[in-house]
Amino acid sequence: MILISTDPALGEELWRGELASAGTCVAAVERARRAFPEWSGRPTAERLAILEAYAARLRDVAEDVALRIARETGKPLWEARTELSAMVGKVALAAAAMAERAGQRVSPTDFGSATLEHRPHGVMAVLGPYNFPGHLPNGHIVPALLAGNCVVFKPSEHTPWVGETMVELLHSAGVPRDVVQIVHGGRETGAALLACEVDGVLFTGSAAAGRILRRQFAERPEVILALELGGNNPLVAWDGNPDRAAAIVVQSAFITAGQRCTCARRLIVPTGAYGDGIVAAVVERMTQLTTGAWYDDPEPFMGPLISASAAEAACSAQTALLAAGARSVVPLERLDSRSDAFVTPGLVDCTGVATSDQEIFAPLLQVVRVPDFDAALAEANRTRFGLAAGLISDDDRLWDRFRNATRAGVVNRNRPTTGASGALPFGGVGESGNHRPSGYYAADYCAYPVAGLAADRVNAIAALPGERPLVTVAPIGPR
């Protein structure tokens, strides 16, 4: 069977290839298993040199790869370029993280030495998402390869072209073909890959899929499971210049057409004049946002959703909120002049409405008004997720309260919730992950620690209480 990838802005075919069968997945894992001893046995410096060559190749063809990202995801070209830049930078960050968090250490003792080293797990299955088809799987694959693992990668069925491009560049840089392989397909292919005898699963996707994976691997504790899931992220806008605050809100909620797991989904403001002013400023900025295709000039703020079905789901989510009693402030609407995947940003007032705690993966922001900061904190934590949260405030005391009380893995102040540093860990708590953050901490799940005590020679050791002391017996001479 054939998998076809299309441009969501134009509907044009971009790439086609074969769907991987269950047998294809088994064969790929077996080849990776056979390749593992040689790859893991190479010096770390040699593996790093190959990955540095991969980063250099990414730089050499940066514009072409960025264009492929833009065309396959629909995101503006300016944003695709930032994704490509993050991919290049990952190699140096992974090397630094490995040296710091998964390196080697020898400490002298009175009997010899205490040692710490890290070893790769083996064959890692990497399942990538469509919103960052290069950056997010790259963030798993690079540290996994650097640690000495082999990788079988299944990109999203929406973005196979970018995935194929990344693997081709890894091969051209010197990574052996059996060390990193790619299998294409949707849910069935992913399930087939995970049914294989892999040593680790590195997954970026929805919380619903994360729950399935937790259950699937509950009786396979030998498999390392790193889950990077979604969020129903709160952004509390409490004080400060309303227009500047609104700029932070807009970038938090609507960048990438709302298709980032760190996008703000709930805007929490104080009841009264300031809250009204924030909402009015957000509405004003929303009316100025441009939605368009990757090839538009001037470049738009955001592109389409990944597919027409994603746009339909966004409209359905808005309808459900309105049916529950929410009030439309700025309606999310389909753009008839574009492909069926285009929608405009939307804002709904959900104050006093019992809304479902779901991640709406689209440019739809819910505003909730609360009477005081205690209520704002309670509302921010009213979620089973815990990925990102943000506070807009000039008050240091409120910031101290917020960062100490908010249960999330990424907590920002006066910056968009979508801002994250590659030199820091990235991940969440609750249903946003399983306490294995990626980013700088990916080194932690790509290798396991081995601790040891070593003496150079077999020497006598001190007897413990109740133990017969070691007695040295003189050799028996001739009678």
pLDDT digits (tens, 9 = 90+) for 91-142: 999 999 999 999 899 999 988 999 999 999 999 999 999 999 999 999 999 9
Please tell me the distance from the alpha carbon of residue 170 to that of residue 164, in angstroms, as a whole number. 10
Percentage above 70 pLDDT, the chain: 98
Name residue 293's amino acid.
A
Q: Is the pLDDT score of 41 beyond 90?
A: yes
What average pLDDT is seen over the chain?
Answer: 95
For residues 298 and 168, state if they share a domain: no
Q: How far is 433 from 207, CA to CA, in rounded Å?
A: 8
Q: How many domains does the chain have?
A: 2
Percent of the chain exceeding pLDDT 90 equals 93
Identify whether 463 is part of a domain: no
Residue 161 lies in a domain: yes
Q: What pLDDT is attached to residue 472?
A: 58
Quick one: which of 127, 118, 125 has its CA closest to 40? Answer: 118
Residue 216 amino acid letter: Q
Distance CA 236, CA 390 (A): 6
Both 374 and 438 in one domain: the answer is no
Whether residue 277 has pLDDT greater than 90: yes
352 and 379 share one domain: yes
**pLDDT tens track for 158-214:** 999 999 999 999 999 999 999 999 999 999 999 999 999 999 999 999 999 999 999
Distance CA 177, CA 170 (A): 9
Which pLDDT value is given to residue 462?
A: 82
Q: Has residue 465 been placed in a domain?
A: no
Using the predicted structure, report yes or no on whether residue 422 has a pLDDT greater than 80.
Answer: yes
Whether 135 maps to a domain, the answer reads yes
Span 66-96, pLDDT tens digits: 999 999 999 999 999 999 999 999 999 999 9
Same domain assignment for residues 312 and 355: yes
Kindly indicate the confidence band of residue 467, based on its pLDDT and cuts at 50, 70 and 90: confident
Least confident of 134-148, 244-258, 337-351: 337-351
Contact 207, 431 (CB under 8 A): yes
pTM over 0.85: yes
Q: What is the mean pLDDT of residues 322-349?
A: 94
213-222 average pLDDT score: 94
Give 217-279 as a DSSP string: TTT-TTSEEEEE----EEEEE-SS-HHHHHHHHHHHHHGGGG-STTSEEEEEEESSHHHHHHH
pLDDT at 479 over 60: no
Check whether 310 has a pLDDT greater than 60. yes
pLDDT surpasses 60 at 474: no
| Strand ranges for 54-205 from DSSP E | 105-108, 113-120, 123-127, 150-154, 180-182, 200-204
Catalytic residue among 79, 83, 157, 228: 228
Return d(Cα 430, Cα 433) in angstroms, integer.
Answer: 6
DSSP 476: P
Residues 132 and 194 in one domain: yes
Structural domain for 17, as ranges:
2-229+433-453
Kindly state whether residues 186 and 272 are assigned to the same domain. no
Catalytic residue among 150, 261, 263, 350: 261
Whether 469 has a pLDDT exceeding 80, the answer reads no
Residue 445 CB contacts under 8 Å (≥ 6 apart), including other chains? 200, 202, 224, 226, 436
Confidence check: pLDDT of 470 > 90: no
Per-residue pLDDT at 471: 62
Q: What is the CATH number of the domain that holds 224?
A: 3.40.605.10
Same-domain status, 151 and 254: no
For 401, counting Cβ atoms within 10 Å of its Cβ (0-12 exposed, 13-18 middle, 19+ buried), the class is middle
Domain assignment present for 154:
yes
What average pLDDT does range 350-364 have in this prediction?
96
**Which conformational region is residue 357 in: left (phi greater than 0), alpha (psi within -120 to 50 degrees), or beta?**
beta
Lowest mean pLDDT among 196-200, 244-248, 375-379, 474-478: 474-478
Residue 474, domain member (yes or no): no
What is the predicted pLDDT for the residue at 477?
Answer: 59
Domain check: are 18 and 146 in the same one?
yes
Q: Is 261 one of the annotated active-site residues of the chain?
A: yes
Q: Clarify whether 315 is annotated catalytic.
A: no
User: What's the pLDDT at 352?
Assistant: 96
473 — pLDDT class (breaks 50, 70, 90): low
Task: Looking at the structure, tell me whether residues 444 and 379 fall in a common domain.
Answer: no
Q: How far, in Å, are 8, 83, 92, 153, 286 from residue 133 at the CA level?
A: 14, 9, 20, 12, 27
Judge contact between 269 and 281, C-beta under 8 A.
Answer: no
Residues 179 and 100 in one domain: yes
| Per-residue pLDDT at 151 | 98
Same domain, yes or no: 191 and 280: no
Alpha-carbon span 70 to 80, nearest angstrom: 5
| Residue 479 counted as domain residue | no
Q: Which of 479, 53, 74 is nearest to 292 (CA)?
A: 74
User: Is 294 found in the same domain as 363?
Assistant: yes
Give me the CATH number covering residue 357: 3.40.309.10
459 domain-assigned: no
